[in-house]
Amino acid sequence: MRHGFQKVNQAWARGLNASLSRRGLARALGAGALALLVAGAGVGMPAALAAEEKPEYVNKALLAKEPLVKDMAIGKADAPVLMVEYASATCPHCADFHIHEWPLIKKEYVDTGKVRFVFREFPLDQVALAAFMLTRCAAKGDPEKYHAVLGMVMKTQREWAKDPKGGLMKVMRMAGMDEKAFDACLKDEKLAKAIMNSARMASRDFGIQATPTFFVNGRKVNGRRGIEEFRKIIDEELKRAGAGGKAGDKAGATKAEEKPAGKTKAE
């Protein structure tokens, strides 16, 4: 039985490693998608990014519930606004958000105690899955380090997309991971399944069909937006929470919903 389990793990690792080759990435994303990815075109983006006439909200308690993998959250636990992002590591619009809008949102809302930010993986292909697994392994459960490594992955997406395995290895070396740990991480079938099953549950529960998708206190925001539109949405939700608006103002006393206790999650 043990020998059989090892064979399964070896086959899994070979398959995931193969997906990290340039040829494997092309297969994972579909014909012609690699060229679009490197050029910066969107993957799974809605055709229109206009603000909804009437905001759509999902169940806040269900959204606050931690998925099968440990939530990578930063910001005050009792911040009046909970902002959740579902993204893929191979989605150019997701990378653009983390390069351009995210640093401003972090500075103006997260660091000032107004927003608690949660990143949840929604891999669109095996390469994105591998990138997220490696990011979690490098972080070792530390949300701050996770976001630092994730930032490197997103900022260098166009470079490592040309050579996923070599490029991601370079990023992970900067995060303190050696080749042995790199290979071991990609063999972690339990972590891979937890990430994929969490994404499937999010798709089912919240109707996610594209990346990036955001939820601001349960308010669904499809696709990347400019910083001014994000500020408008966040400020509106701060007011709804009784915490005022405008980035930089002192956060109000309204507490975010506490997450129910659950069983141990995969890191």
Report pLDDT for 67. Answer: 94
What percent of the chain stands above pLDDT 90? 70
Task: Determine the average pLDDT of the residues in 158-163.
Answer: 94
Q: Give the tokens for residue 239.
A: 């007011």
244 C-beta neighbours (distance < 10 Å), count: 14
Per the model's pLDDT, the better-predicted residue between 50 and 213 turns out to be 213
Q: Is the pLDDT of residue 231 over 90?
A: yes
- The model's confidence at residue 80, banded by pLDDT at 50, 70 and 90, is very high
Task: Determine the average pLDDT of the residues in 180-209.
Answer: 96
- Indicate the range of 126-130, 183-187, 191-195, 242-246 predicted with least confidence: 242-246
Per the model's pLDDT, the better-predicted residue between 226 and 52 turns out to be 226
Give the chain's domains with CATH numbers: 2-240 (3.40.30.10)
The pTM (predicted TM-score) of the whole model is 0.77
Per the model's pLDDT, the better-predicted residue between 5 and 240 turns out to be 240
Q: Is the pLDDT of residue 85 over 80?
A: yes
Q: Is the pLDDT of residue 174 over 80?
A: yes
Report pLDDT for 110. Answer: 98
